[in-house]
Chain A
Amino acid sequence: MGIQADAEPAPAPQLERRIDRLSAPLLVSWQLTRDCDLACLHCCTASAPGKRLTDELSADESMELAQALLGAQVPYVMLCGGEPLLVPHWLELAERLGMGGVQLKIETNGQRLDPRHLERLARLPIRSIQVSLDADTQETYGRQRPGGSLERAHAACRGVRDAGLPLEITFAPTRLNIHEAEAVIDRAVALGAFRFNSGSLMRIGTAARLWQKLEPSAEQYRQFRTLLERKAASPDTAGLELCYTPFSTTEALWESLREPPATLLVLPQGWVKAAGPLPHICADLRRHTLSQAWDRYRSAWRDPELMGAVRRAAELEALQEAANDWAPLSTFG
């Protein structure tokens, strides 16, 4: 795929990097499936109905990986997708992890989260149920999330709070919905959310394919940043953390060069990405143990091939469009 290694300055001494001091990742972001019941225009994983990969981890494999995460004392696991609730064993997986002491975040579009799920989740150490609210009117929500019901998403949010679980809202800004951002923030407050996540639209996946249609203008982004700062300082949002920095994946990639994230991004077939906005694969959990995968991840962040790719993707956002064209690092072996 033409990724070339740059000449690289000497890496920082090993002990200065947090990932070299940790016996396991701080968190694992585990994409359970590419399948989704919606076909959102902004989706960074290009998930949609019927997009399930043919080689996604089975229920048995997923349970074994969960056991490995417990054994490694990974403190936090995010279950996401696609829509994780489409995976038949998602709740059993959450229970295996949660009952073993792992704290959990579940990311969902809220279309099929029902009280039976919430009753079981309420027994687990849940740090966050994150529901995507990309609009405050059905008209706009339906344009950005074709086939989606805003009322169902709102009902899911209310159900989360009624079950005593922590609610987190995420908002992906596009030219279609950015005018409703303030209403969504106000809605998040009214729903009792503890956090509102946003940032710039990621030029990855479906969003990259539709970039010309979706990318907010510079003026829209300027107004959006002003709104976020104003809302963050407002007493009206007391109790709601607004999280929007670093604002872009580009900013985050620059920071990663200094301090690589202590995070493993696990794809539905068990591959481990070196970085979200990049296509490089550094391990395969069907071939490597979790500790081997963690070692390989740490090695990847010393690899000149990856360092060069990170820098180029940080300098030119359009290169992040290849993030889902997965390919192993040369050292993948």
Chain B
Amino acid sequence: MSNVNLKVQEAGVTDSIEERQTRETPASDKPAWETPKMEDVSREVMAQPYIRFT
């Protein structure tokens, strides 16, 4: 990387999703994260003309 500072917190990450959840959800008012699932994607794509139809 030359003169830029792309911050990639997860670069090279090998920790588990559970570890990441622990890191990212310290506040008690946050829900337990759901991991994104591929089976939920199709409806997401179809619902957005901007991305399904470019």
Interface stretch of the complex, out of A185-193, A195-203, A215-223: A195-203
Chain B residues with CB under 8 Å of A15's CB are 31
Give 23 pairs: A residue, B residue, CB < 8 Å, sorted on A.
A20-B31, A23-B17, A23-B36, A26-B40, A27-B44, A44-B54, A65-B6, A67-B12, A75-B36, A78-B51, A252-B47, A252-B49, A261-B47, A261-B48, A263-B48, A263-B51, A270-B6, A276-B50, A286-B6, A287-B5, A288-B7, A290-B8, A292-B7
Contact B50 A67 (CB under 8 A): no
Contact B5 A248 (CB under 8 A): no
Closest to A201 in B: B53
Contact A198 B9 (CB under 8 A): no
Q: How far is the CA of A207 from the CA of B34 in the complex (A)?
A: 38
B2: CB under 8 A from chain A?
yes
A172: CB under 8 A from chain B?
yes
The chain A residues found within 8 Å of chain B, CB to CB, are 14-15, 20-27, 29, 44-45, 57-58, 60-61, 64-65, 67-68, 70-76, 78, 80, 103, 107, 170, 172, 197-200, 202, 204, 243, 245-249, 251-252, 255, 261-263, 265, 270, 275-277, 285-292
Closest to B13 in A: A71
Contact A68 B34 (CB under 8 A): no
Contact B53 A170 (CB under 8 A): yes
Question: Contacts A45-B54, A75-B37, A249-B49: A261 and B9 contacting too (C-beta < 8 A)?
Answer: no
Q: How far is the CA of A275 from the CA of B34 in the complex (A)?
A: 22
Closest to B39 in A: A75
Contact of A23 among B12, B35, B53 (CB under 8 A): B35
Chain A residues with CB under 8 Å of B34's CB are 21-23
Chain B residues with CB under 8 Å of A204's CB are 50
Contact A76 B9 (CB under 8 A): no
Contact of B49 among A23, A25, A58, A248 (CB under 8 A): A248
Q: How far is the CA of A22 from the CA of B20 in the complex (A)?
A: 13
Q: How far is the CA of A44 from the CA of B53 in the complex (A)?
A: 10
Centre residue among B4, B41, B48, B50 by max chain A CB count within 10 A: B50
Q: Tell me the B1-50 residues at the A interface (CB within 8 Å).
A: 1-2, 4-13, 17, 20-21, 24, 31, 33-38, 40-41, 44-50
Chain B residues with CB under 8 Å of A73's CB are 17, 35-36
Contact B2 A262 (CB under 8 A): no
Chain A residues with CB under 8 Å of B12's CB are 67, 71
Question: Contacts A23-B20, A68-B9, A286-B6: A247 and B38 contacting too (C-beta < 8 A)?
Answer: no
Q: How far is the CA of A135 from the CA of B7 in the complex (A)?
A: 43
Chain A residues with CB under 8 Å of B10's CB are 67-68, 70-72, 289-291
Chain A residues with CB under 8 Å of B53's CB are 170, 172, 197-199, 202
Contact A23 B33 (CB under 8 A): yes
Chain B residues with CB under 8 Å of A76's CB are 38, 41, 45
B18 to chain A, nearest CB (A): 11
Contact A64 B49 (CB under 8 A): no
Q: How far is the CA of A170 from the CA of B5 in the complex (A)?
A: 36
